[in-house]
Homo-oligomer: A and B are copies of this chain.
């Protein structure tokens, strides 16, 4: 059962489009890791081990529904699933790397800010 929003979404600028779709706690990280070759749910979960399995699964599902990631289900005896980035997902990589670079290059001051 999908959660129905009560307050309308904001689509008035690119910042809000980004936020409405990619605000999830692990979404950008998932896209990044998928881009670096971690494609299977189990792999991703081990990579992001502080996140609960179901939270990651929910975020991955949303990424699929919104068209950032596609899900490939293999018809093998033992269940096997792989995620891969769509073109839309790939278009996000430069943005993610930019965000990551900003954060890392300001790490010292940002960590101090977090303690205030």
Distance between A1 CB and nearest chain B CB, rounded to angstroms: 15
A100: B residues at CB distance < 8 A: 13-15, 18
State whether A66 and B116 are in contact (beta carbons under 8 Å apart), knowing that A11-B111, A91-B106, A104-B14 are contacts in the complex. yes
* Cβ–Cβ contact A17 & B103, under 8 A: yes
A21: B residues at CB distance < 8 A: 110, 113-114
* Cβ–Cβ contact A114 & B65, under 8 A: no
From B14, B99, B102, B113, A107 is in contact (CB under 8 Å) with B14
Interface size class of A (residues with CB under 8 A): 35 or more
A102: B residues at CB distance < 8 A: 14, 18, 91-92, 94-95
* Cβ–Cβ contact B18 & A114, under 8 A: no
Write 24 A-B pairs (CB below 8 A) sorted by A numbering. Answer: A11-B111, A13-B29, A13-B100, A14-B99, A14-B101, A14-B103, A15-B29, A15-B32, A15-B99, A16-B103, A17-B103, A18-B99, A18-B100, A19-B25, A21-B114, A65-B113, A66-B116, A67-B113, A88-B109, A91-B106, A94-B98, A95-B98, A95-B102, A99-B99
